[in-house]
Structure 1
Amino acid sequence: MSDSTKRPLTFPNWHIPYLEKHRILELFHEVARELVIQKPEDHVLFMKQILQNAAAGRDVSRVILISSGKVNRINLAEEIAKYTRQMVITSSDILNIFRNKMKNVSGDYVGKALVYLVRSQAVMSSGWIIADCVNTEEEAKSLLTYGVLPTHVLHIVPQFQPKLDDLLYCNVSEHWPEVRRNLFGLKQLFHKSLHEIIAGNKDLPSLAKDCADVIKIHKHVKRVMPRVVILGPRGSGRKTQAKLLTELLGLVHVDFPYILCQAWISENELGAKLRQCKKKVCLHSELLCQIVNKRVLEEDCLQRGWVLTGYPYTDIDFMFLDSIDTPPNRVVILDCDLNVCKERICHRKRNVFTGSVTNLKPSGEPNAEVINKKKSLRTHPKDAIDIIEAEHQFYCQRHGSIKKYCGDTAKVINADQNERWIHETIVAYILGANPTGIPRKGFQKDIPEVCGCDCVKIPPSLAKTYLVSV
């Protein structure tokens, strides 16, 4: 990027993370959309007035339900609203405006009425679900002409022969061929925001829950450089998933135990502070965060993005991590049964000659080749059962506070599932829209200083592990 004189411009490392964290790009996108739609005479005054509403509108979902005459869209919309807290707009609301029958209202008047309804302050702040008002192409085109742009259009596909006495279904319209033609036209008009949801044998609450899950997913305005933190108990597959992300997305794997050892033995001020710890193992949040910050500001991490494993340990660590120049923009928490984690680690052996890792699962009578192979395989000192239990206990004591601090900005994944399914879920989360949760604040400008050696208390066996590593 350059200025008018063609001089190359350099931006500080924190400017893009700041825009991503506070979702400024999405705010500009929302303001620009309103400018194009409403075409005000005084653009500056309009932007001052609309800015607050635009900031609130970034997370607001605007939904239109379309389906054949079999689906009871009003009941479904009301059930969805229990999860999303949106306002439901039905044909009765339009009747209250025109005070006559719906069949005498043209598609253009339906569009004007919907504009009036969705532009009210209460509806704009909470979002809306249009249940049964948009049934023809004329009504849909009128809606788009007046600037009512849905974020999600849900096409509910009913089962072939539904039970019409169920709350989810209603009687089929007598003008069935015309309804099918209109439905096809609506799908063509809304193809960019269309989502098809198969009703199948689901009841009304289950289908509404599926719809609500789809509504929560927003399209991203601009792809961001991934800065990922993967948390979870030891044995949940954190490093495995990080290596898969490195292969697929080209991210840099920042293995915290490794860079901690490198910092510990380094001949610089940070290494001296780590070695001066009275408890021999320093886990002071501010010092550990400096280690991460130094690594992620290197050129490869800035250009390709990074995925961090093995850190943070506590919510205080996370607050320090959110206070650096390039804080993480994706947090993945792998929830896994501790017994499963322990079993995975116990089956893991290392070759004493090459250092390679082999997973040995219990089986029947081993052959001679396996016996010879096992002669050179040993359990790593870190994989001793007492150390594993100490690490799991240490993680469980602090897992709740970390999860509470992250809130909706973190993606919790069941790590008991298949490795490929977990990987695909993480990739979809990383490449998707920014999390809609309130941004994590960190310490901002009030970063506490290092106070002597007030380190995090850890089990003795866990401290011994870090001494062995260093």
Structure 2
Amino acid sequence: MITSVPSTLLIGLVEERLNDEDCVQRGWILDGIPETREQALMIQTRGIIPRHVIVLSAPDMVLIERNLGKRVDPLTGEIYHTTFDWPPASEVQGRLVEPPGISELETAQKLLEYHRNIVRVLPSFPKVLKVISADQPCVDVFYQALTYVQTSHRSNAPFTPRVLLCGSVGSGKSLQAALLAQKYGLVNVCCGQLLKEAVAENSRYGRDLQPFFEKEIAVPDSIVGKVLGQRLGRRDCTQKGWVLHGFPRDLDQAHLLDHLGYKPNRVFFLNVPLDSIIERLTLRRTDPVTGERYHLMYKPPPTLEIQARLLQNPKDAEERVQLKMDLFYRNSAELEKFYRQAVAVNGDQDPYTVFEHLESGIIHPLPNKVL
């Protein structure tokens, strides 16, 4: 029996492969994933942002007929087709076998599942999506796809965006940063992830960070500022712009960022009520067997057996979440005064509704606040 690979594990493997040197230098083509909206959001939060997304579309009957004609050479693994690609050698013809799972009923069931999911996946890639008809010669399909991937998306932003997202833990900063990075080609800079990468790479600043990570204590602002300044000073951030989240968290850090010369030209505060944050975080669970992540309200486990073995991350305990929220509330008032032109956004709604508000704040002039 073939079981599906958990999304968390699958995307972790994809992320590991895309971080290899050849993918970084030459680019990559991702096929077969994401299959669901959950996977689409998951790859975006991990910074996997495609520049072009192509959907190959054809009538179901055409796809079913194509699938029924597939044959596989068990010796070489080569795939043939009874109509479009039949091998000339009689020896090869004689050993071809029909692969499992291609019957009309099985193919129709797969197509039904695809249609259910694709309508929820497509909104995850606004402005970079193109649908190409696959019901035409493959050469024509190829050249249409090639023409599209050779185009450069033009940003609607009238300036180089330097976006700062402020918000409490669980407010959705990571997802919104990924969406903005995808839409406008910005560099997604997560301060916490940046520090972890510096330690993992054993860089000069990483060695300074190591003792604080080992003792699980706060890293001094002076070291954080050096790591952050080094990243924001790179050419990609200068040319494309950036979206920063996870820093600053208090007034001193805001002054430090300003002193380093990295002043955001758009600042958003994602406001989410305490009850919603508690609900979002304290109900998160992880399956220690598969690594799959669940939420007891939004994504409950499929069976009682799985539910019984789920574990909660200690950082998601209500007491720790409440402590982080209290700290955020104490500092947010001063940050809002420092960033006088900041825009407050209701983060307690659908992620794409939140994104529309953020996008509007980027492409439109800043509002004049009445003192």
Give the structure-2-normalised TM-score.
0.51
- Matched with 1:454 is none
State how far apart, in whole Å, the 2-side matches of 1:425 and 1:370 are: 38
1:334 aligns with one of 270, 279, 291 = 270
> 1:428: Cα distance to partner?
0.6
2:359 aligns with one of 418, 427, 449 = 427
Pair 1:387–1:303, CA change in 2 (3 A): same
Give the structure-1-normalised TM-score.
0.41
> Higher Cα Rg: structure 1 or 2?
1
1:310 aligns with one of 241, 246, 252 = 246
For 1:291, the aligned partner's letter is V
- 1:417 is paired with a residue whose SS is coil
Pair 1:328–1:386, CA change in 2 (3 A): same
2:343 maps to 1:411: yes
State how far apart, in whole Å, the 2-side matches of 1:332 and 1:312 are: 12
Pair 1:231–1:378, CA change in 2 (3 A): same
CA RMSD of aligned residues (A): 3.1
> 1:330: Cα distance to partner?
1.0
- Matched with 1:246 is 181
2:188 maps to 1:256: no
For 2:171, the aligned partner's letter is S
- 1:416 is paired with a residue whose SS is coil
Deviations 1:118-156 (A, max 9, x none): xxxxxxxxxxxxxxxxxxxxxxxxxxxxxxxxxxxxxxx
1:343 aligns with one of 265, 279, 293 = 279
2:209 maps to 1:274: yes
Alignment: residue pair count = 214
Residues 45-444 of structure 1 aligned to structure 2 (within 5 Å): 223-264=158-199, 266-275=201-210, 281-353=217-289, 355-361=291-297, 369-374=302-307, 377-407=310-340, 409-434=341-366, 436=368
Deviations 1:27-52 (A, max 9, x none): xxxxxxxxxxxxxxxxxxxxxxxxxx
Gaps of 5+ in 2: 1-155
Percent of pairs identical after alignment?
Answer: 27
- 1:422 is paired with a residue whose SS is helix
For 2:294, the aligned partner's letter is T
Pair 1:224–1:354, CA change in 2 (3 A): farther
- 2:189 is paired with a residue whose SS is strand
State how far apart, in whole Å, the 2-side matches of 1:336 and 1:291 are: 29
> 1:414: Cα distance to partner?
1.8
Deviations 1:432-457 (A, max 9, x none): 2256579xxxxxxxxxxxxxxxxxxx
Pair 1:301–1:378, CA change in 2 (3 A): farther
State how far apart, in whole Å, the 2-side matches of 1:370 and 1:316 are: 48
For 1:421, the aligned partner's letter is T
- 2:164 is paired with a residue whose SS is strand
State how far apart, in whole Å, the 2-side matches of 1:280 and 1:419 are: 32
State how far apart, in whole Å, the 1-side matches of 2:253 and 2:186 are: 22
State how far apart, in whole Å, the 2-side matches of 1:315 and 1:290 are: 17
Pair 1:271–1:250, CA change in 2 (3 A): same
- Matched with 1:175 is none
Pair 1:433–1:342, CA change in 2 (3 A): same
Pair 1:338–1:249, CA change in 2 (3 A): same
State how far apart, in whole Å, the 2-side matches of 1:391 and 1:398 are: 11
